[in-house]
Each structure stands twice: as C-alpha cells, then as structure tokens.
Amino acid sequence: PPPPVMKPAAPAKPVVTAAPALNAEAETKQLQATHDQMKKQNFFEVLGLKRDADPGAVKIAYLKAARSYHPDTVAPGSPEALAKLKADIFALISEANRTLSDAVLRADYAAELDAGGTGSKVDMEKIFRGEELFQKGRILVQARKYPDALKLFEEAVSCNPDEAEFYAWRGYAKFLQSKDKKLVTADVMKDLNLCVSKNPNVASAFYFLGYVQKANGDEKAALANFKKCVALDPKHIDAQRELRSAKK
C-alpha cells in the first residue's frame, strides 16, 4: 500500500502574555504625569476630542475615560496618593463632560477659548475637593453611616454647586438617615428633582426617586423611575432587582 500522507504540522500559535500590571508606585507616577498634563489642557483636549465633536462623541469619550480613572477603579490597599490622583483626574474629566454636554455651557466655553482665554472660570481645586468629598460620602453610604455621609455631600455641594449628582446623593442620604421618612420626603424630592433638572442623565437619581416613592407607597411612580434608571444604566443592580421584584 502507498505510504500514508503526512499532514504538515500546524504552525505553533504565538503565546500572548498580558502586559505586566504597574506596581502602585509606578502607577502613581503615571497618574501624576497624566494629571499634570490635563491641567494644562482645555476640556476638548482632556477628553481627546475635536472642537466639532457631537454630543454622542462627548459621551463616549467621557465613559471611556471614566472606566480608567473612576475612583471605584482604585484597588483595595492602594496608596492614598494614588486614590487622590484618580479622584482629581476624574473630577477634571467630569467637569469637561458637564461643560461640553450642555449646549449653553459649551458655547460659552468655546467662545472664551476663541477669545484667547483658557476657558477656566472655575476654581479647579474646589472642583477636585468636591469630587473627593463626594466619593468618600458614597463609601459612607455603603457603610450605612448616613449622617457622616450627609455632611460630606453638603460640603461637596458647597465646593461645586453645579454638579447635579451631588444633590441626588445628598437627598438620598437625607432620606436614609431620617427616622421620620415622611417628614423629610419633600426636602429629599427637592434635591432629587434638582439633580434631574440639572442633568437628566444621572441614573442614580431615578433609582433614588423610585426608592423614595416606593417607601411612600407610590408603586407606579417608583416603577417608572426604576425603568428610567435601567434605561440610562443597564448595569444598575439595585434598579434591576426592583424591576424583577415587580414582575413577580
């Protein structure tokens, strides 16, 4: 019989190895360099956008940056300097997004740049401080230390009264820390609605609205707000849980 035909051996697949993770010291140095560079840039440059970028491009650029620099991405046990740098960078990114996502604010900002200004009419140190306080307040809410969280949210609002999300969390903390829920509901709803009026894309605000409405027996309104929350943030676990519970 004829000798068997030997198939050529398949070429070996290259071994792909993941890039080694930066150690904390190297990451801190890298973040410091990034922060120093961003402080010299205008908001379009901070998000890596051209001046004619549309609102969709602004949102995509912001979300991409947030995935890298959001304070929640700080690994447990990281140095305080690293965590602060991420909070500062995220604050700058958030301010860029807030300005460029709002048609009026963006037009004023672009006009100032065209006139030769830096576009910076705000105290960035206060912006950074407000974001740092806000992130610490969120951690305290998770730890159920509501009065302490509320104090930090109050300070965050005073540092940056233009940041819509601060009002939502302040209202939520007010509701959670109060023993008489009905007594504080009007004040809480004022904060939550203020957030939505300033920025209708804050998913957590709609979850908080639903939470307060459900606690006060308005199941229909609560369900509508839980749906709005998930529409804005499909990964919002608490709102998803509420929607699943409503279907049972």
For 217, half-sphere exposure in the C-beta direction (CA atoms, 13 angstrom radius) is 2
Phi-psi region of 50 (alpha: psi -120 to 50; beta: other; left: phi over 0): beta
Q: Which of 206, 234, 201, 161 is nearest to 55 (CA)?
A: 201
Instruction: Report the C-alpha gap between 175 and 158 in whole angstroms.
Output: 20
Range with the lowest mean pLDDT among 16-20, 68-72, 99-103, 159-163?
16-20
DSSP per-residue codes, 75-136: PTT--HHHHHHHHHHHHHHHHHHHHHHSHHHHHHHHHHHHTT--S--S-HHHHHHHHHHHHH
- Tens-digit pLDDT profile for residues 1-59: 555 545 555 555 544 444 444 688 888 899 999 998 988 889 999 999 999 999 899 99
Percent of the chain exceeding pLDDT 70 equals 88
Q: How many residues does the chain have?
A: 248
Quick count: other Cβ atoms within 10 Å of Cβ 75?
A: 10
Query: Are 131 and 88 a contacting pair, CB within 8 Å?
Result: yes
Check residues 77 and 53 and name the one with the higher pLDDT: 53
Contact between 31 and 74 (Cβ < 8 Å): no
Evaluate if residue 62 carries a pLDDT over 50: yes
- The model's pLDDT over 117-143, given as tens digits with 9 standing for 90+, comes to 655 555 667 888 888 899 999 999 999
Give me the chain's average pLDDT, please. 86
Burial 101-122 (b: 16+ CB within 10 A, else e): ebeeebeebbeeeeeeeebeee
